[in-house]
Chains A and B, each alone.
Chain A
Amino acid sequence: MARYAFYPGCSLDTTAVEYGMSTHAVARKLGIEFLEVPDWNCCGASSAHMTDHLLALALPARVLALAETLPVNELVAPCAACHQRFAGVEYELSRDEELKKKVNSLLDRPYTGKVKVKSFLEVFANPETLDKIQKSVKRSLKGLKVACYYGCLFVKPPKVFNYADDPENPQAMDNIIRALGAEPVPWPYKTECCGASLAMTDEEICTKLCNDILRVAKDAGADCVVTCCPVCQQNLDMRQVSVENKYGTKYRMPVPFFTQLIGLALGIDAQALGFKKLFVSPVKMLQKVGAA
């Protein structure tokens, strides 16, 4: 059985509660074991790395050190921003012994680097699990057109990741969507930025970037934009109403997490996958695959 240290991050129980619900439901079906890192703290996200480099290393390093107490070799974080912070710590501290000592002087439990950071998408997109998913499909998503939106931080910058998909045209989510019977549409905005925390600090820019993404997805004929990042998801889903108001459009584009689509195809009830938590109604999309 595949087993990983699991870092939910601050959003999986709050703003991205459906990401957490669907992740755990799907993991149970596929026999993937996620062991939550005990007493984990926030990774600091962009606020830490904008403010203080050492702080931005030490906060995730505490989590990685705690993960070393678990019987695992790898850690996964479903949030792209958290994932990139962990990968950054691994990248920098494995190349700079002095810096590692400095960071460890800030921690109660030292970080050794024993537990490696793995991409959450790869938990599902590796050939073995992909095959298992394909064989476990109970409700094919045939006919559903999906714009796979990776955002930035699962693939950029590729140098910090142990395994990185093509940062300009990633494939992991496309392969997952194909295994479910759905059709990933070709579109050029897979890794264009949603604006991230500019939603709070400079909303107009974020609204413009989200409008570009939604418009291009719509033009590509997508029934939904599927995401793997809580920040992207919130900007594209909850704030879609602001985009529509500002640009006089009506996208009504559902923005589920990729784990919700896996769950649907595995025959899990839409309610248990948190589809009701989405702001833009997914009813049409669910009807299309006979799940509503």
Chain B
Amino acid sequence: MLKKRIIPCLDIKNGRTVKGINFVNIRDAGDPVELGELYAQQGADELVFLDITATNEGRKTFVALVKDIALHLNIPFTVGGGISSVEDVAPLLQAGADKVSVNSSAVKTPELINELVDAFGSQCIVVAIDARQVDGQWIVHTHGGSKPTEKELFSWALEVEKRGAGEILFTSMDHDGTKAGFAIEALKKMCELVGIPVIASGGAGNMEHFEEVFQQSDADAALAASIFHFREIGIPDLKAHLKTKNIAMR
């Protein structure tokens, strides 16, 4: 049986992990390589490394860090942030990244998804979508959720699939940071619409939220950041809890 995936997300700035890391048992909590290894040992199914400064400041994700992560990590990982061309992706994959995620640049130039898929295959192209509800409609936002766009979430998700993306990482800006649970209704709808895997992101605050998202929607994976970094939820505990609820876990 295919397992549901638990994915910690690490925000990277200037090669260091940011956004509050609270681990006592590692030497350097800001080191993405060490933190990634720790999560892998704890049973994380996959990792996402996002270069959070990349889009706004036009910086490119640095290949050296990706290579160091790939050398040490024996689970899949996705790299995102500031990717806007085939030329941006090639060095990341050559450095050992398994997948890349694109967000703002795909909204700006949807053909980019086709180009990346043709060049590297569906399996390594994740399209990240940030959206929030505006007047009852889910509207796609870019640039870290700061800029509203013309696009509506579900039609964009369908377009992303049609253009060949291998996976969708959907973050609800309305839920992100609230710790009040995932955007279940929107996730349900998205998973009914698209035939590719969907990663749920935004709103995880406790173990029951993960239970809800897997029981009530067909999300394939759930992503979270601070609750793992601050050790509010341990990955081994979370996976053990979900197993008791008959959710397929590795």
A, B in one complex: no
B→A interface (CB under 8 Å): none
A→B interface (CB under 8 Å): none
